[in-house]
């Protein structure tokens, strides 16, 4: 169905509905919204010689045409080059230029974790341009708009609200598609994020700093609500974009499954016992839905103890950058989540220091006899990845997992983004210097000493409580975004109730149809680009 148009009336309607789209959980409606704008997008991208990879190609890069794959050799992984769209997947090798047979990962040994279960960390750093897998989410959120005629790359501005990585991904994708991107993020995020943005935006005004730090997401929404009044701004809100859920279910889920099959090839007794993911937008945790459907895997959502929204409806400040934003995103499939695990940012900041400096590394290798290659891999693990590792250890302890129970988790970004945070932490806590005794204290307290505190196994009532937080949160009640979110949430609840179960799966119900439809749109889009 083709509806709407480029008339002033249609544009006004478009602008109005974009506010709705900030919150609509069923964003990916199976219809072309504006045929004229879709044709304009095809034309524009054809002229720019941009071909869009399909979600299936990104889930399984073996499907990428050989000619495209081999043309990538001359392009650096961090260049703003349209060909880097073809590297937006989990199968990049360690130097991020070529393709690996198995997604990059590290298996952490018992000497490090203190538990028998292998803890497997997938490395988001290998994604192009931003060194974090959030570029995949950004691509997924923009592409459905292009193929349905909801985004005109000639004149629309893509607005990317985020705490840093999603908006960097969005700016990278906007730039290589030749359209305008605007990053909206809290002013207190790591310096490295801002340095990167300065280099990539076409106009410094396209970096909008909102008050606060990691958990000040409401302030980001306030700014977006303001920006949405301009009809040329298209707000791509990762917290409610169904595409964010879908791409992680489809691509990230497949990547984890691939790594697990690879490990099972070495030990047929392995079972994929748990998937652990700290939630920001709750996109990545969607991979758990796929893994659970295939392996019965338990899904654990991680948050900062300093901002315990899922654990006890609380809020607060913390430094696990990228996660825990004082609310439950609409796309979080809460009713399929099994555990919530709280991790202190003192643990992740301390481990960032332990693994990131020479003193800590020499302690780990010399005193603790950890394989130097494993220690080096921590270059590829940022603060939220460290929090995920701590949470995975808590899960192993809590559920008394054994040597065949594999726990999988993710390092969304790398330590490269947190050198400044390491310096801040050193200055705050170790003003007189940091030595091997301090390294030993960190190891004992934040690795060896991990117990299963702040772990909640969710009952049906717990899930309902958390789900209901996605509808109303006291801290957000006056924001326009939340008013919209509230009405959307009640319609989701009504919808799910009419299926006979309360919020059984607020987003999962429809994804096979949406995926099929999207594949058809992308194919039609690609063929019109070639004509």
Ligand X SMILES: Cc1ncc(COP(=O)(O)O)c(C=O)c1O
In the chain, the largest separation of any two C-alpha atoms, in whole Å, equals: 71
Token look-up 């949470």 returns 391
DSSP 368-424: T---HHHHHHGGG--HHHHHHHHHHHHHHHHTT--TTEEEEEEE-S-GGGGHHHHHH
Q: Nearest distance from residue 400's CB to ligand X, in Å?
A: 27
Q: Nearest distance from residue 96's CB to ligand X, in Å?
A: 18
Q: Nearest distance from residue 511's CB to ligand X, in Å?
A: 16
Please, which residues have CB within 8 angstroms of residue 174's CB and are 6 or more apart in sequence?
Answer: 142, 158, 160, 180, 181
Q: Nearest distance from residue 241's CB to ligand X, in Å?
A: 11
Residue 149 vs 253, nearer CB to ligand X: 253
151 neighbors 145 (Cβ within 8 angstroms) = yes
Q: Taking CA 261 as the corner, what is the angle to CA 258 and CA 264, rounded to the nearest 5 degrees?
A: 155
Residue 249 vs 315, nearer CB to ligand X: 249
Residue 166 vs 242, nearer CB to ligand X: 166
Q: Nearest distance from residue 33's CB to ligand X, in Å?
A: 26
| Pair of tokens at residue 417 | 């983004």
Backbone angles phi, psi at 66, to 5 degrees: -55, -40
Residue 240 vs 281, nearer CB to ligand X: 281
Q: Nearest distance from residue 329's CB to ligand X, in Å?
A: 8
Residue 23 vs 148, nearer CB to ligand X: 23
Distance between CA atoms of residues 378 and 530, nearest Å: 43
Residue 92 vs 279, nearer CB to ligand X: 279
Please, which residues have CB within 8 angstroms of residue 400's CB and are 6 or more apart in sequence?
Answer: none
Q: Nearest distance from residue 481's CB to ligand X, in Å?
A: 17
Distance between CA atoms of residues 67 and 511, nearest Å: 31
Residue 201 vs 247, nearer CB to ligand X: 247
Distance between CA atoms of residues 377 and 371, nearest Å: 10
* Cβ count within 10 A of residue 420: 14
Q: Nearest distance from residue 44's CB to ligand X, in Å?
A: 28
Could you tell me which of 201, 58, 119, 124 has the C-alpha nearest to residue 519? Answer: 58
272 forms bridges with which residues in the sheet? Answer: 406
Closest-approach residue to ligand X (CB): 322
Residue 41 vs 351, nearer CB to ligand X: 351
Q: Nearest distance from residue 342's CB to ligand X, in Å?
A: 15
- Residues at the interface with ligand X (CB under 6 A): 134, 163-166, 278-285, 321-323, 382, 384, 412-413
168 forms bridges with which residues in the sheet? Answer: none
Which helix (DSSP H) or strand (DSSP E) does residue 362 occupy?
helix 358-366
Q: Nearest distance from residue 214's CB to ligand X, in Å?
A: 10
Could you tell me which of 471, 59, 457 has the C-alpha nearest to residue 286? Answer: 59
Cα four-point dihedral sign 13, 15, 16, 20 = positive
In 3-state terms the chain splits into helix, strand, coil percentages (rounded to 5) of 50, 10, 35
Residue 118 vs 385, nearer CB to ligand X: 385
Residue 77 vs 329, nearer CB to ligand X: 329
Backbone angles phi, psi at 182, to 5 degrees: -125, 125
Q: Nearest distance from residue 305's CB to ligand X, in Å?
A: 16
132 forms bridges with which residues in the sheet? Answer: none
Token look-up 């979110």 returns 485
Q: Nearest distance from residue 343's CB to ligand X, in Å?
A: 12
- The arrangement of strands across the sheet holding 157-161 comes to 207-210, 180-186, 157-161, 233-235
321 neighbors 274 (Cβ within 8 angstroms) = no
149 neighbors 165 (Cβ within 8 angstroms) = no
Residue 85 vs 276, nearer CB to ligand X: 276
183 neighbors 201 (Cβ within 8 angstroms) = yes
Residue 24 vs 162, nearer CB to ligand X: 162
Q: Nearest distance from residue 217's CB to ligand X, in Å?
A: 11
Residue 148 vs 240, nearer CB to ligand X: 240
């Amino acid at each position: 169905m083709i509806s709407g148009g480029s008339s002033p009336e249609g544009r006004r309607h478009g602008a109005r509905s974009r506010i709705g789209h900030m919150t609509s959980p069923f964003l990916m409606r199976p219809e072309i919204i504006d045929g004229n704008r879709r044709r304009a997008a095809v034309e524009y991208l054809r002229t720019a010689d941009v071909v869009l990879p399909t979600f299936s190609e990104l889930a399984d890069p073996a499907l990428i045409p050989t000619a495209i794959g081999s043309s990538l050799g001359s392009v650096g992984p961090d260049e703003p080059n349209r060909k880097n769209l073809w590297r937006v997947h989990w199968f990049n090798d360690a130097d991020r230029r070529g393709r690996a047979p198995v997604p990059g990962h590290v298996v952490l040994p018992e000497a490090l974790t203190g538990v028998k279960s292998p803890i497997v960390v997938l490395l988001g750093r290998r994604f192009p341009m931003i060194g974090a897998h959030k570029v995949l989410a950004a691509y997924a959120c923009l592409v459905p708009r292009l193929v349905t005629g909801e985004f005109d790359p000639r004149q629309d501005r893509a607005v990317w609200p985020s705490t840093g990585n999603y908006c960097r991904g969005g700016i990278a994708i906007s730039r290589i598609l030749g359209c305008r991107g605007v990053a909206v993020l809290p002013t207190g995020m790591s310096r490295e994020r801002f340095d990167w943005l300065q280099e990539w935006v076409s106009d410094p005004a396209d970096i909008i700093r909102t008050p606060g730090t990691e958990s000040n997401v409401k302030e980001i929404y306030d700014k977006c609500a303001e920006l949405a009044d301009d009809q040329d701004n298209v707000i791509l809100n990762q917290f409610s974009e169904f595409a964010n859920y879908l791409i992680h279910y489809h691509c990230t889920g497949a990547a984890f499954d691939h790594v697990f099959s690879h490990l099972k090839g070495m030990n047929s007794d392995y079972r994929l016992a748990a998937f652990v993911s700290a939630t920001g937008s709750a996109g990545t945790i969607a991979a758990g839905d796929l893994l659970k459907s295939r392996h019965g895997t338990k899904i654990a959502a991680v948050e900062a103890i300093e901002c315990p929204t899922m654990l006890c409806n609380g809020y607060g400040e913390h430094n696990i950058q990228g996660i825990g934003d004082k609310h439950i995103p609409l796309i979080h499939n809460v009713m399929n989540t099994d555990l919530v695990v709280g991790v202190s940012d003192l643990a992740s900041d301390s481990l960032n220091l332990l693994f990131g400096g020479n003193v800590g590394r020499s302690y780990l290798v010399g005193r603790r006899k950890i394989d130097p290659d494993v220690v080096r891999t921590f270059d590829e693990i940022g603060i939220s990845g460290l929090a995920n590792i701590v949470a995975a250890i808590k899960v192993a302890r809590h559920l008394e997992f054994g040597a065949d129970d594999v726990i999988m988790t993710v390092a969304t970004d790398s330590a490269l983004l947190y050198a400044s945070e390491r310096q801040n932490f050193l200055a705050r806590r170790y003003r007189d210097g940091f030595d091997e005794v301090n390294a030993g204290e960190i190891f004992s307290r934040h690795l060896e000493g991990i117990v299963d505190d702040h772990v909640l196994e969710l009952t049906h009532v717990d899930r309902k409580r958390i789900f209901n937080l996605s509808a109303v949160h006291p801290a957000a009640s006056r924001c326009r975004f939340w008013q919209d979110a509230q009405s959307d949430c009640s319609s989701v609840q009504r919808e799910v109730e009419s299926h006979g179960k309360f919020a059984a799966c607020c987003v999962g119900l429809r994804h096979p149809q949406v995926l099929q439809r999207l594949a058809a749109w992308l194919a039609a889009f690609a063929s019109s680009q070639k004509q």
